Structure 1
């Protein structure tokens, strides 16, 4: 619960945080009279700002906080004051250090921006001036409101993310590899296939004869790879995931595409029971801790899913079957995991590499020279590793 004192009265509200952050300890009620500089100072100090003013002004304030966070730091003077000596050059940082500094900066940025809260009524409505009706978006993301729920407090930034996901879900992502008019509709908290290089790799890889009857799709997500395997001629696919959101998302997309009869979805960790002639997995590619649900598609602490897939693959492959591991090498360029480690894990699992397809990323960050990780991103390659039992 979130607690605060305002105008001589104690208040409370249920705290909602997708990333599981604890409720703020200090809360002040603010409105349109609050200046952006004061808001920024309070947010940096760890004080949550519960908005009670005009909703559109709250959005303007959030933008003002972003501008203050994005403002370039002042460059230090070239010479030490009063001595006329140049300052020592900054020590160069390794790619791994740059990554961890970037993650720290992202975390601090998120903490500041998530300090601006808005109250939601039990039906997800907002009793703020000029507030839009986003009840449907919240229902799709969080489920139907509870009849006995009280007021909830949520970060405005998170609420905007809910609405953005709702719009993507309505619009969908064009997926021409599945058909001229085909679209995949990602749900809130499920990784969207907007970065489609991995889909192209699965479309191009030679389908093993042993995999034409049955394939496993490990970490099914939106269901896009299961749909593609069916369209490529695999007669039956079993897709697995631990996320109820992902399973619901995959089911809806497969129904839209008319393929749900040929894909069975199971809630389980990695592999279903039995063996298949083709097993596909596109695990998170960076070995670091995920903070939010959506980050779980990118960050895999200690490479747990990757190593679990490799360790269990041999036991679930039919003779002459193949495991397709789809993995970006960004972690290697960042110094977070070496190619030698990956190859050692493959060998230790009793597997061998029988082929590899590569593709360069097409997403915007790969060309963004201002990105702190640009040097690594510019070298990134996504690969489909074709693995067989030794």
Structure 2
């Protein structure tokens, strides 16, 4: 989501400096920038960040990390007195307020900036070498200095470590290595559904929106002779190909760039689209939010014409959006019927993640009721 033309300008000792602006969240470059260092008080930094003034760090790198932690404590500090604001009238309103608060929190914490050399090196005291993590996320460096938020850079480091370590997938008996910007398969419910559902055939399967390639790999492990995984995101395509190669499945699984379906028909077509209708605000959120349910509706609308006779389409979808009032079950069933499809069966599973049991989560009522389903869809006769 970086704009290669975006730049950030600031003044230091009467000299105007300019560098490339980097933001994976797609935020515009801050208009106001001040120099901050080890002498900058946390309260001052917090006030400036809340006002939309960015702090370009010229001090010790580890002190910048401590300042970021201090900003986080201030952002997350609960008021001394209970808030008199009215409670949300519905889960839908609670969801939108939650997203708004999370966006404001992220924007405030993103105001602490770190300068990067042209090769992604950081010329600050006690700065770690983040060049490999930056190359994985940003691509090969160009002959231009840049600036990014410390919070984003720390996210790059976390993604780099996840990529090296990988995520254990019990159904695969192997690890999947997510790349930066590609949603990690940390929620195993949908993987378990695909591992358990009865296969209609083992000759060919399409995995639409393959992401890390985890479902394509799982289908191949289950004995499907040929699997074609599609995606249109460059990071996802590179990630899926890497994982398929690591798993030794390159002869069975082919990864293609495509908007939804590849050419031809298959007896099994699998899709795990983003579960929530809405606008993503970062690269990772593209795996969570589907504007106007574009991918979901596109998959359903094109499924019948890509299914081989007697074939099945597996739609893996959580009903979290239904509990939030963002999409109704009637709408989903209507889209299925309008696409000339019928429901052969549905497999359900409850979430196992911690938030489903966290009563303090503002969306707990929806999370605790959530069910993830694998809809076995067939073309109507």
User: Aligned match of 1:332 in 311, 322, 328?
Assistant: 322
1:345 is aligned to 2:335: yes
Match of 2:291 in 1: 301
| TM-score using structure 2 length | 0.96
Match of 2:14 in 1: 8
- 3-state SS in 1 of match to 2:211: coil
1:171 is aligned to 2:165: yes
The structural deviation recorded for 1:134 is: 1.1
- 3-state SS in 1 of match to 2:292: helix
1:197 is aligned to 2:185: no
Match of 1:368 in 2: 358
- 3-state SS in 2 of match to 1:261: coil
Matched residues in 2 for 1:98 and 1:194: separation? 25
- 3-state SS in 2 of match to 1:165: helix
**Runs of 5+ in structure 1 lacking a partner?**
78-86
Whether the aligned pair in 1 keeps the contact of 2:120 and 2:141 (CA below 8 Å) is: yes
The structural deviation recorded for 1:367 is: 1.3
1:267 is aligned to 2:273: no
Match of 2:34 in 1: 28
Match of 1:119 in 2: 115
CA separation of 1:196 and 1:124: change in aligned 2, threshold 3 A: same
User: Aligned match of 1:227 in 199, 207, 217?
Assistant: 217
Match of 2:3 in 1: none
Any idea what the Cα deviations from partners look like across 1:288-332, whole Å, max 9, x if unmatched?
A: 110101000001111111011001101100111000000010000
- 3-state SS in 2 of match to 1:216: strand
Bigger Rg, which one: 1
The structural deviation recorded for 1:354 is: 0.4
Map 1:1-390 to 2 at 5 A.
1-75=7-81, 90=86, 92-146=88-142, 149-179=143-173, 182-209=174-201, 212-390=202-380
CA separation of 1:76 and 1:216: change in aligned 2, threshold 3 A: closer
Matched residues in 2 for 1:108 and 1:145: separation? 30
Matched residues in 2 for 1:41 and 1:47: separation? 9
Any idea what the Cα deviations from partners look like across 1:145-177, whole Å, max 9, x if unmatched?
A: 12xx22100010000000000000000011121
Matched residues in 1 for 2:139 and 2:50: separation? 32
The structural deviation recorded for 1:44 is: 0.5
| TM-score using structure 1 length | 0.94
What is the root-mean-square deviation of aligned Cα atoms in Å?
A: 1.2
The structural deviation recorded for 1:74 is: 3.5
Matched residues in 2 for 1:104 and 1:95: separation? 14
Any idea what the Cα deviations from partners look like across 1:186-206, whole Å, max 9, x if unmatched?
A: 000000011111000000000
**Runs of 5+ in structure 2 lacking a partner?**
1-6
- 3-state SS in 2 of match to 1:296: helix
- 3-state SS in 2 of match to 1:186: coil
Number of positions where the alignment pairs a residue of Structure 1 with one of Structure 2: 374
Matched residues in 2 for 1:239 and 1:204: separation? 20
Matched residues in 1 for 2:301 and 2:120: separation? 44
